[in-house]
Chain A
Amino acid sequence: MSRLMIWLILGVTLTFLIGPFLIVIFAGMSAGEALAFPPQGLSLKWYAKVFTVESFRASFALSMFLAIFGTLAALLIGIPAAYALNRYDIPGAETIRTIVAAPIIVPGIIVGLALLRYFVVPLNVAITVALFVTHTALVLPYAVRVVSSSLNNLRADMEEAAVILGCTRLQAFTKVVLPNIRGGILAAFILGFVTSFNEVPASLFLSGPGVRTLPIDMLSYMEITFDPSVAALSALLAFMSVAIVFIAERLLGFSRYV
């Protein structure tokens, strides 16, 4: 392949990766009233407006809550699950792994519809609770996978050494296993956080009066008001994600775990 060809492919790839990001940033900087690219003049007023929209504040808080606590809940279930799958000879471990991975494979839109039709409506579950359960379930596969891969690198005899020195099995887990997989846990948390925060398909079905996650709220905002503030908000969120991943990468070489 010629050099020119290689540069061309690289250029196209980068354009597709970074292009949309740049477009959103600049679209949000428009001085005009409608969402457009290229922007009509430059200003930061839409970035400022984002913070004044009441429903954005509420949905941002909800999304933050779901991303943080949904992911924590997923880790609370996922870490012991990964440990058990990794360390014990569980009959049907392969099947369990497949089931755990199901939410990655099954389209979110089906998960959302099914939950709404057979969980939320018949049991009259509060939307917030339904969202929490859904986000936990959607993040769980990532938690199990990332934690599993760091457990694989940890030899089982270290725990046995701890037991011989007087630890109970639980103490060996907290004193030896956990500290040695904390990088993997942090990586799983970040991955789960970002996944939950950006989740659209399932959350689309799980919204009620005044209860919406941020991406869903942005969608409905756009149906009514087509101003550049949505672009401004998207850009802010993208910066937040990039910042989190960047810090994590700096702190512990995040990309090793994903």
Chain B
Amino acid sequence: MSDAFVSLTDLTLSYGQTVAVPNLNLDIVEGELIALLGPSGCGKTTTMRAIAGLMPPAQGRIVIDGADVTRVPANKRGIGLVFQSYALFPHLSAFENVAFGLRLQKLPQAQIRAKTEAGMATVGLTGFEARKPGEMSGGQQQRLALARSLVMQPKVLLLDEPLSNLDARLRLEMRNELQRVQKETGITMVFVTHDQSEALALADRIVLMKDGKIEQLGTPAELYARPDTAFAADFMGFENIFRVEGDALVSDSGRLPLGYQASAQILAWRPGGVGVGAGPHRGRVIASSFAGGHREYVLDSALGQIKADAPIDVPEVPIGQDVAFDLPQDTARPLAA
């Protein structure tokens, strides 16, 4: 890609003999908000640390804004990093935390003050200048860490699970906040998360990672609708994933004739794509819960458990009772092995 702002080329990252990330290739476009999504231990933090310059790559190149920075030390890269733990300086006031990097640049006092105040205003922390980080709430500390990075006007801002230490309500609030700040500043952002809903909600593009490799890359809409692998489908909420053998589905529990010819090796359905109340298959209801707009069933079938969401106007089937269900061809997502 020629319009890449950040390019990782054949990047290999290892801890001693253990390779955490083998041969990663990734291009990031200027001004985009890109999410590194994947389960714990898949190499997201490692990749971030390499981009930031905190971890020298075993192999490969990192180019940022046209310059090869592979050997440039972390304090000269002009990159921001918001740590998962925030890593605020406990001995300094909120103001001094934000001003820390500006002071190192030896800017005039007036400019430091102006930039710091603007930075704190951007994240809604005006009035908290004198507080120590230890005297601030989790959400405020998160904002402070963000402001501390933003005032440096980094070429790229990296955020490592920025919302994972917040409670659910605050997490949603900070999601919007993060998106607003990104649109306002136009800073290229890479943020790490293991929460697919966060990645889907926030990112312009999602990099789905598994064992240090890119499993799939695309826009949230692409990944959500068309995961290519069972791993990606599982992450995107396809909770029913089965192997295909001839004209039947197979699982560890047994097999179920499909009634139509499937072309893929694996088929997957979201709970919402499974029909309940009608269809060629039968299952016993083993769990049922009201979820507002729909009802979530767990059915015991020849394939083992099937997760199925039924519209609220379908009459409720009591637990223990058999019900007909359908795994329709049109809601099936074909996957590669």
**Is this pair of chains taken from one and the same complex?**
yes
A residues neighboring B (CB under 8 Å): 155, 157-158, 160-168, 171, 175-176, 179-180
Query: Given the complex, which residues of B lie within 8 Å of A166, measured CB to CB?
Result: 75, 101, 104-105, 152
Answer whether A163 and B75 are a contact pair too, CB < 8 Å, given A171-B104, A179-B91, A180-B90: yes
Query: Given the complex, which residues of B lie within 8 Å of A160, measured CB to CB?
Result: 54, 74, 81, 83, 87
- Complex Cα spacing A168 to B88, Å: 17
- Please name the 10 residue pairs, one residue from A and one from B, whose CB atoms are nearest each other, closest first: A165-B101, A161-B87, A166-B104, A157-B87, A179-B91, A158-B87, A164-B81, A163-B74, A163-B75, A157-B83
Nearest to A169 among chain B residues (CB) is B75
- Complex Cα spacing A67 to B152, Å: 46
Query: Given the complex, which residues of B lie within 8 Å of A168, measured CB to CB?
Result: 75
Q: Are A165 and B87 in contact (CB under 8 A)?
A: no
Contact of B85 among A157, A163, A164, A179 (CB under 8 A): A157
- Complex Cα spacing A53 to B53, Å: 64
Answer whether A164 and B80 are a contact pair too, CB < 8 Å, given A157-B87, A158-B87, A158-B89: yes
Asked if B308 is at the interface of the complex by the 8 Å CB criterion, the answer is: no
Asked if B333 is at the interface of the complex by the 8 Å CB criterion, the answer is: no
- Complex Cα spacing A247 to B89, Å: 27
Asked if B306 is at the interface of the complex by the 8 Å CB criterion, the answer is: no
**Shortest distance from the beta carbon of B96 to any chain A beta carbon, whole Å:** 10
Nearest to B83 among chain A residues (CB) is A157
Query: Given the complex, which residues of A lie within 8 Å of B148, measured CB to CB?
Result: 161, 165
Nearest to A182 among chain B residues (CB) is B91
Map CB proximity to A onto B95-138 as digits: 1 under 8 Å, 0 otherwise.
Answer: 00000110011000000000000000000000000000000000
Contact of B83 among A161, A167, A176 (CB under 8 A): A161
- Complex Cα spacing A62 to B78, Å: 53
**Shortest distance from the beta carbon of A243 to any chain B beta carbon, whole Å:** 27
- Complex Cα spacing A165 to B81, Å: 9
Q: Are B75 and A176 in contact (CB under 8 A)?
A: no
Query: Given the complex, which residues of A lie within 8 Å of B90, measured CB to CB?
Result: 180
Query: Given the complex, which residues of B lie within 8 Å of A165, measured CB to CB?
Result: 75, 100-101, 104, 148, 152
Q: Are A155 and B105 in contact (CB under 8 A)?
A: no
Asked if B276 is at the interface of the complex by the 8 Å CB criterion, the answer is: no
Query: Given the complex, which residues of A lie within 8 Å of B89, measured CB to CB?
Result: 158, 161-162, 176, 180
Q: Which of A163, A168, A171, A175 has the most CB of B within 10 A?
A: A163
**Shortest distance from the beta carbon of A256 to any chain B beta carbon, whole Å:** 16
Q: Are B100 and A162 in contact (CB under 8 A)?
A: yes
- Complex Cα spacing A235 to B198, Å: 68
Q: Are A155 and B75 in contact (CB under 8 A)?
A: no
Nearest to B152 among chain A residues (CB) is A165
**Shortest distance from the beta carbon of B101 to any chain A beta carbon, whole Å:** 4
- Complex Cα spacing A165 to B73, Å: 12
Q: Are B81 and A155 in contact (CB under 8 A)?
A: no
Nearest to A89 among chain B residues (CB) is B16
- Complex Cα spacing A168 to B203, Å: 33
Nearest to A165 among chain B residues (CB) is B101
Contact of A164 among B75, B88, B91, B105 (CB under 8 A): B75
Asked if B214 is at the interface of the complex by the 8 Å CB criterion, the answer is: no
Nearest to B151 among chain A residues (CB) is A165
Q: Which of A155, A157, A165, A175 has the most CB of B within 10 A?
A: A165
A-B contact pairs, 8 of them (CB 8 A): A155-B85, A157-B85, A161-B81, A162-B100, A164-B53, A164-B75, A165-B75, A167-B104
**Shortest distance from the beta carbon of B105 to any chain A beta carbon, whole Å:** 7
Q: Are A164 and B104 in contact (CB under 8 A)?
A: no
**Shortest distance from the beta carbon of B56 to any chain A beta carbon, whole Å:** 13
* Given A161-B87, A164-B80, 4 other A-B residues pairs in contact with their CB atoms under 8 A: A157-B85, A165-B148, A168-B75, A179-B91
Asked if B79 is at the interface of the complex by the 8 Å CB criterion, the answer is: yes
- Complex Cα spacing A166 to B148, Å: 12
Interface residues of B in 42-61 (CB under 8 A from A): 52-54
- Complex Cα spacing A175 to B53, Å: 20
Answer whether A164 and B74 are a contact pair too, CB < 8 Å, given A155-B87, A158-B89, A180-B91: yes
Query: Given the complex, which residues of B lie within 8 Å of A167, measured CB to CB?
Result: 75, 104
Q: Which of A157, A158, A166, A176 has the most CB of B within 10 A?
A: A166
Nearest to B76 among chain A residues (CB) is A166
**Shortest distance from the beta carbon of B148 to any chain A beta carbon, whole Å:** 7
**Shortest distance from the beta carbon of A91 to any chain B beta carbon, whole Å:** 13
Query: Given the complex, which residues of B lie within 8 Å of A180, measured CB to CB?
Result: 89-91
- Complex Cα spacing A158 to B92, Å: 12
Query: Given the complex, which residues of A lie within 8 Å of B54, measured CB to CB?
Result: 160, 163-164
Q: Are B100 and A164 in contact (CB under 8 A)?
A: no
**Shortest distance from the beta carbon of A197 to any chain B beta carbon, whole Å:** 30
Nearest to B81 among chain A residues (CB) is A164
- Complex Cα spacing A171 to B105, Å: 13
